[in-house]
Structure 1
Amino acid sequence: MNLFMPHNTLVRSGLFLMLVVSGLQMQGQGARTQFGEGLNPVTTSVPFLAISPDSRSGAMGDVGAATTPDANSIHWNPAKLAFLEDNTQSLSLNYSPWLSQLVPDINLVYMAYAQKIKKNQGFAFDLRYFSLGEIQYTDQMGNSLGNFESYEFAFSGAYSLKLSNTLSAGVSLRYILSNLTQAAGQANIGDNIRAGQSFASDVALYYEGERFVMDGGQTGRFTAGMNISNLGTKIRYTETDGGDFIPTNLRVGTGFIWGLDQYVDLGFYFDMNKLLVPTPPLRDSEGNIIAGRDDNVPFFQGVFQSFNDAPGGLSEEIREIVWNFGVEMWYDDKFALRGGYQHEALEKGGRQYATLGLGMRFNVFGLDFSYLIPTTRVRNPLENTLRFSLFWNFHKAQS
């Protein structure tokens, strides 16, 4: 990529780059003719935090609030860690090419480790690295100022505790680094340029009901979960920059696991997601707000404001909810088939796609694969891309 970034547009250019790689394709231009109509997506900095990192959930329409726990639960719902199997020590490695149809060097690498402590506790760590590849900076005359690597990463730690036999709570702490602009500072494109940093936390609950027997000897179990993720400070790239919201998100989900017989389990999962970030207001030609509310507020105020600030009122707030559906069938706890669907309103980004995948579990080793199929004209960075995850479950080797 070749970029010229004058001093006063550096941060905006970096954010535009992130919008491109996060797959928010802008369909249609022009102002809204009525409040709540037309394109008005809620955008944030560091959207890589919201990318589905693993192939299991990625094959099920990106559900994760109430799926059964595994090493990647720290991303979806850290409260699930307390419900890991006893003596679990699990490691996962996940790789996702990004925009692979256009560029070869943008990708997301995700690693997570989870461990059960005693009978009622669990903890986990994860590391997420998003490479934006090599960027060539030029001056106004087109002369090269050098090639630089841009990247972002986040490191998290989580702890979960059972509050009862069926309910647990969890928290995560996270450090975020966004190195979109540091290289520009090294190239003397602007003054006081720095890498953006933030600290954030997650707060979560998870319910896993007791297995019950149905007619014909089949069994059932209900699950539910809630996770408020990335509660944290704004990202700033300069000393004078007011900062940009990180993707604080509310995820609520439920599930039902149906035991058809001693070999086959069928899981159905449903999630709802809403960004807890202010919606951009509708402004006139002079920049005055004519509908909605000012979105230049502190991050904590923005969390509460996000429920009632859309210019289109309640109907637009509802359109900001992303719906996720997933199905998973396990045979003998060794082979899994998965499918799912995500729906996002076209006015809010239009990320609508079906997903497919499979999983395999051996003695201590496992593999997951996922594939994404867009169902609208909105292009997705993961379309026609095979993603994969590797698992190691060390407790099984000791049993």
Structure 2
Amino acid sequence: MKRFSFTLIFVSALSAFSQTAKYSNEFLSIGVDAAAFGMANAVTATTKDVNSGYWNPAGLVHLEDNQVSAMHANYFANIATYNYVAGAMPLDSKSAVGFSIIRFGVDDILNTTQLIDEQGNIDYNRISLFSNADYAFTLSYARNLPLEGFSYGVNAKVIRRIIGDFAQAWGFGFDAGIQFQKNSWSFGAMARDITTTYNTWTFNDAELATIQDAVEGQNQVVPEASEITLPKLQLGVAKTTPIRRDFELTTSLNIDMRFAQTNDIVSSGAMSMTPAFGFEVGYINLVYLRGGVGNFQNIEQLGGNGTEIGFQPNFGVGFKYKGIQIDYALTDIGDQSLALYSNVFSLKLDWSVFR
């Protein structure tokens, strides 16, 4: 990646602006927590720890103690890094709060716009480095409803996106979620960007001029200064069943919906949706085995030979002991979807570990 020319990287970054709103802030659709990845992200109904701030803030009410969590993953052959940290705490027996930070970025990109000096000579000392990074800061609040088994949660999030010295943006938005638990059944709904999420960009005209000088004959029109992310809705249902002695099985189903036409397996001009299935087998709340399949997409074939359905199978394991939980997930086993596979690791700690 460090050998790529700056022009290719920058044109790719700017292409995100020209995408329709349905693909804005897509780094927030990747997900967090290896345990959730192992279940193909089908956790809207079951999430009940510090990571609920991302998946469904209503799940934060199930916290019994303060928790912290962290995750690291690499994408695109280790070119891009994805890092996440979060903390949450119960306020009382009915409510809880949480905070999280996400960073998704490509670092040390070569800026070759000044590679050739005024005399037409190549001077490698004129090459500099920059980063293309996206940040999200989220504050979550959850509370039990007066109806038994019901809880709700809301997120307020601030978006920060940076493309070196060339462009930067601030954005803000809100999410809302609800959960209901009855006996062995769990239900959940998560509405992301419920008011639409706005990003406002500012551009460094002097730096952009260097792009126009370096790349002649290309469309270097400065993109629009505003992006709007359309709402998304996730619905989930899950059931937990004891199996034999000391074993417990949780099976879950998610329906992920966008209010735009995409390549999801069910799509129209107004809405598209795709399912995700996951399971988790737990042994005495100590060892976990997970699996799932999701991200069902209609993939255009080369040469105009129609479409085929792609999907993303995932696998995961976890270990928990005295408030320390370590999880691992391998995503897109067998390369069945357009998404690249990734090894994901996460760590979760109950605050009692430090007492």
Please state which band the TM-score falls in when normalised by the shorter chain: 0.7 to 0.9
Residue 273 of structure 1 is matched in structure 2 by: 256
Residue 134 of structure 2 is matched in structure 1 by: 152
Residue 277 of structure 2 is matched in structure 1 by: 325
Q: CA RMSD in A?
A: 3.2
Change (3 A) 1:357 1:41: farther
Q: Deviations over 1:236-260 (max 9, x none)?
A: 4347725233363211111001123
User: Aligned with 1:244: secondary structure?
Assistant: strand
Equivalent residue letter for 1:254: V
Answering whether residue 198 of structure 2 is matched by residue 234 of structure 1, we say yes
Change (3 A) 1:41 1:58: farther
List runs of 5+ in structure 1 lacking aligned partners.
20-39, 186-193, 212-220, 281-309
Change (3 A) 1:247 1:177: farther
How many aligned residue pairs are there?
316
Equivalent residue letter for 2:82: L
Residue 370 of structure 1 is matched in structure 2 by: 329
List runs of 5+ in structure 2 lacking aligned partners.
117-121, 204-222, 301-307
User: Aligned with 2:201: secondary structure?
Assistant: coil
Q: TM-score with structure 1 length normalisation? A: 0.71
**Higher alpha-carbon deviation: 113-122 or 49-58:** 113-122
CA distance in 2, matches of 1:223, 1:317: 31
Deviation at 1:63, TM superposition (A): 1.3
Q: Give percent identity, aligned residues only.
A: 20
User: Aligned with 1:62: secondary structure?
Assistant: coil
1:71 pairs, out of 43, 47, 50, with 50
Change (3 A) 1:275 1:140: farther
1:121 pairs, out of 95, 99, 118, with 95
Q: Deviations over 1:36-60 (max 9, x none)?
A: xxxx998412211010221001000
Answering whether residue 60 of structure 2 is matched by residue 81 of structure 1, we say yes
Deviation at 1:98, TM superposition (A): 1.0
Report matched runs for 1:1-399 at 5 Å.
1=1, 2-5=4-7, 13-16=12-15, 43-84=22-63, 86=64, 88-100=65-77, 104-139=78-113, 144=126, 146-163=128-145, 164-180=147-163, 182-183=164-165, 185=166, 194-209=167-182, 211=183, 221-231=184-194, 232-238=196-202, 241-246=224-229, 248-261=231-244, 263-276=246-259, 278-279=260-261, 316=268, 320-347=272-299, 352-374=311-333, 378-381=337-340, 383=341, 385-395=342-352
CA distance in 2, matches of 1:335, 1:358: 8
Deviation at 1:123, TM superposition (A): 1.1
Q: Deviations over 1:355-392 (max 9, x none)?
A: 111111001211101012356654423x1x32111111
Asked if the contact 1:168–1:205 (Cα under 8 Å) also holds between the matched residues in 2, the reply is yes
Change (3 A) 1:334 1:317: farther
Deviation at 1:262, TM superposition (A): 5.6
Q: TM-score with structure 2 length normalisation? A: 0.79
Q: Deviations over 1:222-277 (max 9, x none)?
A: 0010111134433243477252333632111110011235621110011111223x
Equivalent residue letter for 1:380: A
Residue 218 of structure 2 is matched in structure 1 by: none
Q: Deviations over 1:104-145 (max 9, x none)?
A: 341100111121222111111111011212212223876655
Residue 210 of structure 2 is matched in structure 1 by: none
